[in-house]
Amino acid sequence: MIHFFGKKKLVTTETTEQVKLGLGLCLSGGGALGFAHIGVLQALIENGIEPDIISGSSMGAIVGALYAAGVTPTEMMQIIKDDRLYRVTRLMTFKPTIWKSGWSDHSTVLTLIKEIIPHNSFEGLQKKMLICVSNLNLAQWEIKSSGYDLNSWVSASASIPGVFEAHEIDGVFYLDGGLLNNLPAQPLKELCDTIIGVDVLPHEAPTSLKKPIDAVTKSIRIVEHVNSLEGRSMCNYIIEPQSIKQYNEFRFDAYQKIYSQGYTDALEYIKNNPEILHLKNKDKATIDPILLK
């Protein structure tokens, strides 16, 4: 398991043989806006660009885990169309008691991940998956990458503060990875020579803040943007789907349009940055097992 606390670096043993590092993909949090990740993945795959290792926060952790398990973007969209992910009323099982730490429990996400990935383990995934969570006990973000409780860590990473209950694991309380690190590219920097970041919450200067809720929403987005700056600086390429201009984090009903926006923006990015296409010609990476522990 890899842990990152602030600037802490991963310590590895030296090897006599040079390690060939692979292509990393970092997926940000963003609630329903994270459906754009699926469209971006579709565009990358169509252009022969397939990452070896994925890192993600919140919705990025959900999409990333499904992709790491071998679920295609087309299959992900079918899961959504089957009403298994996009409806807020299905995603959230409400708990009205006022002393709960959130309005909803984790049953839907836990069940969905275990149903689609029955082995429920990081080690059983087809690709390496790194999940970012916020540790409330230590006030630090962490990366989880091993064990047989994949669905618990995916659920913890996607636990939006105030919406979902804090996820308690071994006496420690966890919430949304995006709370402290919305674009967790840091662990990929240690494992990959090239990183593609997908940030569905790029900074947008406000044009109007007439309602209090507008100020609250914008403030939260700014905090998430600021905590993603370090991760953004580590990415060689950053794709920024523009769904945020029309939709908010709770527009789960707009999944098709958000997906399409991600797909279109990714194709446009590839067109404007043709050098990214050299990634499709790279040999499959051979990662030192020590780095993946």
Note if 149 is an active site residue.
Answer: no
How much is the pLDDT for 159?
86
Catalytic residue, chosen from 57, 58, 104, 157, is 58
The alpha carbon of residue 209 and the mean position of all alpha carbons in its chain are separated, in whole angstroms, by 28
Note if 176 is an active site residue.
Answer: yes
What is the C-alpha to C-alpha distance for residues 113 and 66, in angstroms, rounded to an integer?
8
Joined tokens for residue 63: 């999409």
Residue 199 has pLDDT above 50, yes or no: yes
Joined tokens for residue 263: 């797909």
Catalytic residue, chosen from 52, 105, 176, 265, is 176
Provide the pLDDT confidence category of residue 250 given band limits of 50, 70 and 90. Answer: confident
Comparing 67-81, 96-110, 115-129, 241-255, the range with the smallest average pLDDT is: 96-110
What pTM was estimated for this model as a whole? 0.84
Residue 6 DSSP label: T
The overall average pLDDT reported for the chain is 82
What is the C-alpha to C-alpha distance for residues 77 and 93, in angstroms, rounded to an integer?
22
Give which of 116, 141, 103 is closest to 62, Cα–Cα: 116
C-beta of residue 167 within 8 angstroms of C-beta of residue 113? no
Provide the pLDDT confidence category of residue 219 given band limits of 50, 70 and 90. Answer: confident
Provide the pLDDT confidence category of residue 63 given band limits of 50, 70 and 90. Answer: very high
